[in-house]
């Protein structure tokens, strides 16, 4: 069943020897006997350190080598069950980082002169919107389970941009559950908390069960006023979610 997962996934032992991999992993990466053969030279040490700790890995970025020798930036999700390790590599769209870098460079330039600020105002607004939209990608883990990892500080504007993209993808995919991962979230703006409540309730109206994972204490306090109204599952560990709905 795991071989049908539409993402590159691997099963391995404590020595990082690969025992099984999904069809997508076979398509994207060369045949490897060890997890260490997947990483490029710069990320090899980081990948070993992450996997050998035995901890749950949530969204760590590593560079891996593709089947054609190309470098692919991926977000790594991994966990251990007894002596068996499981890992999923989620390729990150280069457009997110290109937009982020362009936005940083543009903002730096706009600070130099008011005239340039006026000229680039519309371009900046467009880049901000695209950056916000790419801060919450919709990832199909299986037919029944999807993941939306959110990056950066959570504002109403960012949620609005994420919402438009995620609703379309969720409507087409119709998963039973949607994991909303707050691991990469910084601060939650006061107004964004109510926007998040409305977003989660909309998923429930679509027949999709939202599950919150990776909440920090500050996040929980911000969302506390809507706890009874939302009535959603909250899992502190991504490992629990993976074991409960993905690996099984």
Please count the structural domains in the chain: 3
pLDDT of residue 51: 92
pLDDT of residue 208: 93
Question: Of residues 39 and 237, which shows the higher confidence score?
Answer: 39
pLDDT of residue 10: 93
Same domain, 235 and 140: yes
The mean of the pLDDT values for the chain is 83
Same domain, 85 and 105: no
* CA pair distance 162, 192, nearest whole angstrom: 12
Q: What is the CATH number of the domain that holds 157?
A: 3.30.750.24
Same domain, 39 and 69: yes
pLDDT of residue 1: 37
The boundaries of the domain holding residue 75 are 2-91
Percent of the chain predicted with pLDDT > 90? 33
Q: What is the CATH number of the domain that holds 20?
A: 3.30.450.20
Q: Are 135 and 180 in contact (CB under 8 A)?
A: no
Question: Of residues 10 and 71, which shows the higher confidence score?
Answer: 10
List the single range of 48-62, 95-109, 231-245 with lowest mean pLDDT.
95-109
Same domain, 76 and 168: no
- Tens of pLDDT, residue by residue over 198-239, are 999 999 999 999 999 989 999 999 999 998 898 999 987 777
* Average pLDDT, integer, range 120-129: 70
Same domain, 126 and 167: no
- Per the confidence metrics, is the pTM higher than 0.85? no
Per-residue pLDDT for 111 more than 90?
no
């Amino acid at each position: 069943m795991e071989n049908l997962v539409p993402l590159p996934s691997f099963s391995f032992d404590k020595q990082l020897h690969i025992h099984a991999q999904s069809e997508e992993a076979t398509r994207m990466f060369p045949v490897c006997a060890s997890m260490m053969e997947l990483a490029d030279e710069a990320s090899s040490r980081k990948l070993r350190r992450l996997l050998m700790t035995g901890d749950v890995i949530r969204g760590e970025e590593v560079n891996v080598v593709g089947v054609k020798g190309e470098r692919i930036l991926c977000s790594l999700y991994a966990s251990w069950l007894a002596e068996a390790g499981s890992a999923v590599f989620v390729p990150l769209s280069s457009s997110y980082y290109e937009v982020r870098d362009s936005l940083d460079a543009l903002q730096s330039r706009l600070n130099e002169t008011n005239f340039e600020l006026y000229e680039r105002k519309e371009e900046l607004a467009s880049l901000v919107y695209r950056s916000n939209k790419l801060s919450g990608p919709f990832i199909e883990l299986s037919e029944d389970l999807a993941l939306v990892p959110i990056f950066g500080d959570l504002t109403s504007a960012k949620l609005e941009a994420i919402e438009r993209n995620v609703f379309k993808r969720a409507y087409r995919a119709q998963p039973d559950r949607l994991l909303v991962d707050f691991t990469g979230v910084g601060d939650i703006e006061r107004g964004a908390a109510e926007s998040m409540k409305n977003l989660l309730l909309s998923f429930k109206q679509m027949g999709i069960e939202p599950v919150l994972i990776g909440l920090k204490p500050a996040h929980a306090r911000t969302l506390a006023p809507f706890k009874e109204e939302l009535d959603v599952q909250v899992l502190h560990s991504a490992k629990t979610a993976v074991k409960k709905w993905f690996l099984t």
